[in-house]
Every structure is written in structure tokens, then in C-alpha cells.
Amino acid sequence: MRRMSNRAPLIWGIVLIVIGLVGMAALWALAPTALTPAGIGTFSSNGQLIYYTGGDASGSIPRSLGGSRMTGFGMMGNMACVVCHGEDGRGGRVGMMFGTVEIPDIRYSSLTSPRSEAGTTVPAWSESDIARAIRDGFEPNGQPLKAPMPMWDMTDAQLSAVIGYMKELDGQ
């Protein structure tokens, strides 16, 4: 009997993890259709479509996870920019499976202006710095972006569309 009671927390832990993973998988499977701009039936641009769905007319855009460099959709599922950065692009604290992550403001004006982060001044990013961050997962200083930011395998046209939409976020 004692042996059973020692295993009970382990069994319940496994059950709860499985339930959580099933729930996250369902959320990520529904994300492209469930996450649409408030009050808008269609997307105003390809950049907005990518921002909200993680894909465009050609389908989902492949990505790999920053830091771990795991390829494919994996744990990121079909998540899109809006899931972490929000409808207004301002980011903030987002609850993840293993804690809370501070997600940065990605509005174009915020990234292309000098700003203060963690007591230091961060120089303004150029448009090519933004593109490198999205595609390759690196900040302008060469430091890798922190997880959960994925690296997106975007075409030049897709990247240009997303950066254009980031400029539109300035007005929100």
C-alpha cells in the first residue's frame, strides 16, 4: 500500500502534463482561425495575415525555435506573432508552460529608436537588424534572441510584408 501512495503524485503529475499538452495542441491547432483582428473579418495586408496566423496564402511559414535550434513546428505548434506580442505589438509578460516570459515591444518605432532595457541603453535597430532577428534569431549585437522567439523561414516578400505591418502597429 505504501508503494502505491509514493507513486500517486508521479501518476497525477503525468496525467496533468498530458492534459496540458492536449489542451495546448488544441489551442495551437485553432490559433490560425481563432486569432483574427478584433472586429475585422478579413486581413488588411499580407503582413497582418502573417502576424495573426503564422502563414499566408501559400500556407504556414516554417520556423525553428530560437536557442535550441529545433526545426519544424514542434512545441511552437502553429503559433503566430500575435500570440506573444499581442494585437498591438507591445508584448509584455506572457505565461508559458514553465513560467512567465517577458516579450518585447516589436512596434517598428520602438525597435528603430534607442531605448532603455534592464538599466542599459539599447541602440536603435535598422530594418536589416529586424529582418536578421526574424529570420536568423540574432540581435544586432550578435546575441541570440531568447526563446520562445522562433526563427522564421520567410521569403523576402513575406519579411517585407511583416515589417510593413510592424510599422502599422505604431498607430495602435
In tens digits, what is the pLDDT along the chain, a chain of 172 residues?
A: 455 567 878 888 787 787 877 666 655 554 444 444 554 458 999 999 999 999 998 889 998 875 444 444 444 556 899 988 999 999 998 877 778 888 999 999 999 999 887 788 889 999 999 999 999 999 999 999 888 889 999 999 999 999 999 999 998 7
Q: How many domains does the chain have?
A: 1
Chain center to CA of 108: 16
In a domain, 29, yes or no: no
Predicted model pTM: 0.71
Q: How many CB atoms lie within 10 A of CB 128?
A: 9
Domain assignment present for residue 144? The answer is: yes
Q: Establish if 12 belongs to a structural domain.
A: no
The answer as to whether 70 is a domain residue is yes
Q: Which domain, by its residues, includes 154?
A: 35-171
- Give the amino acid at 106: I
Residue 154 lies in a domain: yes
Residue 1 resides in a domain: no
Q: Could you tell me if residue 40 is inside a domain?
A: yes
Residue 21 lies in a domain: no
